[in-house]
Amino acid sequence: MAPRVALVVSLVIALLLGVLSGAVMMPAARHLRSLHDGVPAQATLHRSGSCMVGRCQVEFEAGGRSVVADLPAGSGGGKKSVGTRMTVRYQADDPRTVARDEDVGGGGAAVLAWLSGGGALLFLLLSVVMVIAMRRQRRSPARRT
């Protein structure tokens, strides 16, 4: 791969990881933390799947009625099977806004935000190193073979 192409690819990866961290995972972690003071309820996993990307549903009682709600992106518990009991927290004024009790500290979203942010910094640093190496190579044409 040509050095300039590698530099562009590295910068694009850094940008994408930075956007993933700042625009997707940080708000997801903030949303999970916002339910820390929510109303606790016993729930049953209604639909399992990839909870980390928001594809799980839980069923629980809120205000005397049965509610089926999606777990938000960044939730854990994806390996659990349908029918598994768990504690959830929901907003009193909107029971469809819910999160697993284990995730209200930020859950996997906080971990992924830090990991993707760290990955963005790593690729940005790699890009800087590549620019320095390309400039050194350009200054010393006699060393090339």
The residue extents of the domains of the chain are 7-36+105-139, 37-102
In this predicted structure, the answer to whether residue 142 has a pLDDT above a threshold of 80 is no
Closest CA to 88 of 40, 52, 44, 56: 40
Give this prediction's pTM. Answer: 0.72
Look up the CATH architecture of domain 37-102: Beta Barrel (2.40)
pLDDT bucket at 105, cuts 50 / 70 / 90: confident
What pLDDT is attached to residue 4?
87
In this predicted structure, the answer to whether residue 124 has a pLDDT above a threshold of 90 is yes
Distance CA 13, CA 34 (A): 30
Cβ of 22: how many Cβ atoms within 10 Å?
Answer: 14
Average pLDDT score over residue span 106-127: 89
